[in-house]
Amino acid sequence: MRLAVDIGGTFTDLLLVDDDSGEIWIEKVLTTYPDPSEGFLNAVQKASAASKRPLSGVDVLVHGTTLGINAIIERKGSPTALLATEGFSDSVELRREQRYVMYDLLLELPEPLAPRNLRFGIRERVTSQGEVLVPLDTEQVAKLLSRLTARGIEAVAVCFLHSYRNPAHETAVAEIAREVAPGLNVSLSSRVNPEVKEYERASTTLCNAYLQGRMAEYIENIEASLAARGFAGAFFIMQSSGGLTSSVTAKELPVRVLESGPVGGMLCAAHHGRVASAPKLLAFDMGGTTAKIGVIDGGSPLVAPGFEVDRRYRFAKGSGLPVRAPVIELLEIGAGGGSIAQLDALGLVKVGPESAGSSPGPACYNLGGTRPTVTDADLMLGYLNPAFFLGGEMTLSPEAAEQAILNDLAGPLGMDPREAAWGIHELVNESMASAARVHLTDRGKDPGDYPLFAYGGAGPVHAFGVARVLGSPQVIIPLGAGVASARGFLTAPASFEAVQGWYRTISETTTDEIGDLLRHLEDQGRAMLATAGIPDDRIEVHGYCAMRYEGQGHDVRVHLPGARVESKAALSEAFERRYASLYGRTVAGRDIKLVTWGVIAQGPSSDLRLSQLLKSADSGDGALTGQRPVFWPESRSCEETPVYSRYALRIGESLEGPAIIEERESTIVVGHRARARVDGFGNVVIDLE
Write the CB contacts of 559 (distance below 8 Å, at least 6 apart in sequence): 542, 543, 544, 574, 578
Q: Do the Cβ atoms of 436 and 330 come closer than 8 Å?
A: no
Let me know if 92 is exposed, middle or buried by CB neighbors in 10 A (0-12, 13-18, 19+): buried
Please tell me the distance from the alpha carbon of residue 629 to that of residue 635, in angstroms, as a whole number: 13
Q: Judged by CB, which is closer to another protein: 108, or 537?
A: 108
Q: C-beta of 531: minimal distance to another protein in Å?
A: 31
Q: Judged by CB, which is closer to another protein: 160, or 544?
A: 160
Please tell me the distance from the alpha carbon of residue 426 to that of residue 430, in angstroms, as a whole number: 6
Please tell me the distance from the alpha carbon of residue 250 to that of residue 338, in angstroms, as a whole number: 34
Q: Do the Cβ atoms of 85 and 53 come closer than 8 Å?
A: no
Q: C-beta of 553: minimal distance to another protein in Å?
A: 3
Q: Judged by CB, which is closer to another protein: 199, or 231?
A: 199
Q: C-beta of 90: minimal distance to another protein in Å?
A: 4
Q: C-beta of 147: minimal distance to another protein in Å?
A: 5
Sign of torsion, CA 376 379 383 388?
Answer: positive
Q: Judged by CB, which is closer to another protein: 81, or 517?
A: 81
Q: Judged by CB, which is closer to another protein: 587, or 614?
A: 587
In angstroms and rounded to an integer, the radius of gyration of the C-alpha atoms of the chain is: 26
Q: C-beta of 262: minimal distance to another protein in Å?
A: 23
Convert 423-478 into a string of H (helix), E (strand) and C (coil). HHHHHHHHHHHHHHHHHHHHCCCCHHHCCEEEECCCHHHHHHHHHHHHCCCEEEEC
Q: C-beta of 302: minimal distance to another protein in Å?
A: 15
Query: What is the phi-psi region of residue 110: left when phi exceeds 0, alpha when psi lies from -120 to 50, beta otherwise?
Result: beta
Q: Judged by CB, which is closer to another protein: 1, or 136?
A: 136
Q: C-beta of 405: minimal distance to another protein in Å?
A: 13
Q: C-beta of 505: minimal distance to another protein in Å?
A: 10
Q: How far is CA 587 from CA 432, 546, 552, 580, in A?
A: 34, 17, 11, 9
Q: Judged by CB, which is closer to another protein: 240, or 339?
A: 339
Please tell me the distance from the alpha carbon of residue 544 to that of residue 557, in angstroms, as a whole number: 6
Map residue 183 onto helix, strand or coil: coil
Q: C-beta of 487: minimal distance to another protein in Å?
A: 33
H helices present in 491-550, as ranges: 511-531
Q: Judged by CB, which is closer to another protein: 105, or 387?
A: 105
- Angle, CA of 662, 46 and 5, to the nearest 5°: 70
Q: C-beta of 515: minimal distance to another protein in Å?
A: 23
Q: Judged by CB, which is closer to another protein: 106, or 387?
A: 106
Convert 366-418 into a string of H (helix), E (strand) and C (coil). CCCCCCCEHHHHHHHCCCCCCCCEHHHCECCCHHHHHHHHHHHHHHHHCCCHH
Q: Judged by CB, which is closer to another protein: 93, or 223?
A: 93
